[in-house]
C-alpha cells in the first residue's frame, strides 16, 4: 500500500479511472526554497509507452522526474504542490510510503551506479530487503532481470565477479536489471545513455523499446535523435514550464509552438 489513507479531494479523470494512464500530472509546482523550478505543469503519461522529456539545461526535467518517486525528498528545501496521480493516489502527499513507491516506480541515473558488490548481489540486494531469501527464487529473479535488461548472455558465467569489472554500458544495463528485479510498473530514466559510447547507447535504446511492452517509461534526454527514435510522446520543457506536449512525430515534424521549433532545430539549448 502506498498510502495509509485514501481520500482524493480532487476529480479523477475518466481515462485514469479506466486505467489508461499511468500518471496524471495536474498543476504541479516544485520549489527549491523560494525558487520555483517547475511551474504549474499539467499533462498525462500514457501506460506502456515511452515519454521523452526534452529541453535545455536547467529547465526542470530532472526535478520533475525526481518528484515522481519522491527523490526530491532527499534535497533540503525542496517541496512540491499539486497532483501527480498514480492509481488514484496523489504521490506528492505527505503520507505516501516512499519505500513502497520506489519499488513501483524505479529510477536509473545518468552515471551507472552499481554497488561495489558482485553482479549477482547487485540484483539480490533489494530483494533481500523485501524479504525474499530462498536461493532458488533469488537465482530465478537474477536470471530473469538480467535477461530483461539484455545482459544475461554477457554475464551468465561471471555472476560473482564485481559489478565494477563491467563496462560502463554493461553497468548501466545492470542498474536497469536491478531496478526491474523488484517488479516496478514505471521506469524513470534520467539521461541513461549520455555517459555511454554509441554502441552501448544503441543497446540501451533497443532495450527501452523492448521494455515498453511491459513498463511505462519516462526518459530525459538531450539527444533529439534519441527522443525521436525511441519515444511515443515528447514533452518540451523551458524554464520550468511545459511548453508543448504531443506525439513525438508531431513535436519533431510540425510543432505547434515556435519555441519548440527553435529548440528542436538547434537554435538554442
Site of interaction with ligand ATP (CB under 6 A): 32, 37, 55, 57-63, 75
C-alpha cell at 72: 526530491
* Cα–Cα distances in angstroms (integers) from residue 94 to residues 44, 48, 70, 91, in the given order: 22, 28, 10, 8
Q: In whole angstroms, how close is the CB of 129 to ligand ATP at the nearest point?
A: 26
Q: Give the separation between CA 94 and CA 81, rounded to whole angstroms.
A: 11
Q: In whole angstroms, how close is the CB of 187 to ligand ATP at the nearest point?
A: 17
Q: Which residue is nearest to Mg ion (CB)?
A: 62
- 62 near Mg ion, judged by CB under 5 A: yes
Residue 58 near which of Mg ion, ligand ATP, none (CB within 5-8 Å, type-dependent):
ligand ATP
Please, which residue, 60 or 114, has the CB nearer to ligand ATP? Answer: 60
Q: In whole angstroms, how close is the CB of 38 to ligand ATP at the nearest point?
A: 8
Q: Of the ranges 58-66, 68-76, 93-101, 123-131, which one interacts with Mg ion (CB under 5 A)?
A: 58-66
Residue 75 near which of ligand ATP, Mg ion, none (CB within 5-8 Å, type-dependent):
ligand ATP
Instruction: Decide if 146 contacts 97 (C-beta within 8 A).
Output: no
Q: In whole angstroms, how close is the CB of 243 to ligand ATP at the nearest point?
A: 13
- 221 near Mg ion, judged by CB under 5 A: no
Q: Give the separation between CA 96 and CA 73, rounded to whole angstroms.
A: 12
Residue 192 near which of ligand ATP, Mg ion, none (CB within 5-8 Å, type-dependent):
none
Q: In whole angstroms, how close is the CB of 160 to Mg ion at the nearest point?
A: 34
Instruction: Decide if 237 contacts 59 (C-beta within 8 A).
Output: yes
Residue 60 near which of ligand ATP, Mg ion, none (CB within 5-8 Å, type-dependent):
ligand ATP
- 90 near Mg ion, judged by CB under 5 A: no
Residues that bind Mg ion (CB under 5 A): 62
Amino acid at each position: 500500500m502506498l498510502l495509509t489513507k485514501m481520500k482524493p479531494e480532487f476529480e479523477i479523470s475518466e481515462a485514469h479511472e479506466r486505467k489508461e494512464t499511468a500518471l496524471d500530472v495536474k498543476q504541479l509546482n516544485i520549489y527549491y526554497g523560494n525558487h520555483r523550478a517547475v511551474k504549474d505543469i499539467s499533462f498525462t503519461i500514457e501506460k506502456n509507452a515511452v515519454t521523452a522529456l526534452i529541453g535545455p539545461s536547467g529547465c526542470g526535467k530532472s526535478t520533475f522526474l525526481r518528484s515522481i518517486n519522491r527523490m526530491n525528498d532527499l534535497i533540503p528545501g525542496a517541496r512540491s504542490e499539486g497532483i501527480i496521480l498514480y492509481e488514484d493516489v496523489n504521490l506528492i502527499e505527505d503520507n505516501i510510503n516512499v519505500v513502497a513507491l520506489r519499488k513501483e516506480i524505479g529510477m536509473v541515473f545518468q552515471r551507472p551506479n552499481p554497488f561495489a558488490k558482485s553482479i549477482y548481489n547487485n540484483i539480490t540486494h533489494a530483494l533481500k530487503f523485501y524479504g525474499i531469501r530462498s536461493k532458488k527464487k533469488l537465482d530465478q529473479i537474477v536470471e530473469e532481470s538480467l535477461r530483461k535488461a539484455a545482459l544475461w548472455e554477457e554475464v551468465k558465467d561471471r555472476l560473482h565477479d564485481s559489478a565494477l569489472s563491467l563496462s560502463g554500458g554493461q553497468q548501466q544495463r545492470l542498474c536497469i536489471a536491478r531496478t526491474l528485479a523488484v517488479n516496478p510498473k514505471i521506469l524513470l530514466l534520467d539521461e541513461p545513455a549520455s555517459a555511454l559510447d554509441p554502441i552501448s547507447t544503441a543497446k540501451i535504446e533497443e532495450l527501452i523499446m523492448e521494455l515498453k511492452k511491459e513498463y511505462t517509461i519516462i526518459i530525459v534526454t538531450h539527444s533529439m535523435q534519441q527522443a525521436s527514435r525511441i519515444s511515443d510522446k515528447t514533452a518540451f520543457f523551458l524554464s520550468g514550464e511545459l511548453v508543448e506536449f504531443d506525439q513525438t512525430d508531431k513535436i519533431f515534424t510540425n510543432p505547434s509552438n515556435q519555441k519548440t521549433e527553435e529548440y528542436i532545430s538547434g537554435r538554442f539549448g
